[in-house]
Amino acid sequence: MRWYILRRIGISLLTLFIATVVVFVGVRALPGDPAVAMSAESASPRALQAIRVQYGLDKPLPVQYVNWIGHALRGDLGHSPKTGLSVAQTLVQRVPITLELTLLALLVAIVIGIPIGILAAVRRGTIADYVASTTALGGLSVPHFWLGILFILLFAVHLGWLPASGFVPLTSPLENLQHMLMPAVVLGIGLAAVVMRQMRSAMLESLGADYVRTARAKGLSERSVVGVHALRNSLVTVVTVVGLQLGALISGAVVTEQIFLVPGIGKLTIDSVFSRDYPSLQGVVLVTATGYILANLLVDLAYSVLNPRIRVGGAAS
């Protein structure tokens, strides 16, 4: 178990290192001279040279990389040439917003996906199963950014129940929730479909397993068989799948934030692509990749805790 964790952490660190190199090289491969992008509208060649020296752009790439990563490790991700703000500070403001959005979406997905998945498995082959499974497939097929636009049309324009877009900080919780509700539901629906489908198939597998038959034979109530024995084992699969979907959730957040004008890191990514704000883009991609690698590591570790067979290296089977 310890060896497994250490090995897993080692791989994550290596991946993280290569990812930083990719981000670094990638941002430098963007079209246009970064010095021009960082300067005022019509900078003289001398001013450009000054910017290159100031940001170390005149140095060889490996030196630039070491400088950049050294600063990044100390929490200095440079300044945005567009706003003049520190990239790190901007990220500190924006990461929690995206985090809130994705957590709420995850909650929506779990609250919708797990009960419906269980229901579809327990009532396999009935109308309920059929409706649930088809709806889930529909949920997977509908592009969520379009769903976002339809939601705005219905709930904001026609009914006027919810604000169409924008963001209010958590200091006023009720208004915050009002603004976050539509984005979270839109983002969560696709994941809910995935969770439901996984829950259904995992549950079907569990319900057919020997230990469930044993539990039934012991005379346990159906509720306890389904709710305790089968559910616990099915959750292992669902945790893994939710973990694998984190990337999709972050991808979804990019578009959802764009539609509902939520000032998270997704919107920051797109804004910095279009304003050629390279330090911000570099920072946001770096933070996203790091967060994603860490989350995957945690999911793997959680998986090994939930599934004893991995923990003891197969001895239990």
Residues that bind other proteins (CB under 8 A): 11, 14-16, 18-19, 22, 26, 29-31, 134, 137-138, 140-143, 145-147, 149-150, 152-153, 157, 246-248, 250-252, 254-255, 258-259, 269-270, 273-274, 281, 285, 288-289, 292-293, 296
Contact 292, 250 (CB under 8 A): yes
Q: Any idea how long the chain is?
A: 317
Q: Provide the minimum distance between the beta carbon of 221 and other proteins in the complex, in angstroms, as a whole number.
A: 33
Name the minimum Å distance from CB 22 to other proteins: 6
Pick the closer one to other proteins by CB: 120 or 226: 120
Cβ of residue 96: shortest distance to other proteins, in angstroms?
A: 18
**Which two structure tokens, joined as six digits, stand for 212?**
């469930």
Check: CB of residue 258 under 8 Å from CB of residue 270: yes
Contact criterion met (CB below 8 Å) for 243 and 249 = no
Indicate the residue among 173 and 247 with the shorter CB distance to other proteins. Answer: 247
Give the residue among 107, 109, 156 at the shortest CA–CA distance from 261: 156
> How many whole angstroms separate alpha carbon 212 and alpha carbon 202?
13
Q: Which is nearer to other proteins, 98 or 225 (CB)?
A: 98
Name the nearest CA neighbour of 301 among 6, 18, 19.
6
Question: Are 183 and 256 in contact, with CB atoms under 8 Å apart?
Answer: yes
Q: Rounded CA gap, 204 and 238, in Å?
A: 13
List the structure tokens of 218. Answer: 């012991």
Task: Please identify which residue in the block is written with the tokens 């967060």.
Answer: 291
Minimum separation from the CB atom of position 191 to other proteins (A): 13
Nearest distance in Å: CB 229, other proteins: 25
**What's the min distance (Å) between Cβ of 228 and other proteins?**
29
Give CA angle at 296 (77, 228), nearest 5°: 145
The helix-helix angle for 173-207 and 231-244 (nearest 10°) equals: 120
In whole angstroms, the minimum distance from the beta carbon of 235 to other proteins comes to: 23
Distance CA 70, CA 3 (A): 30
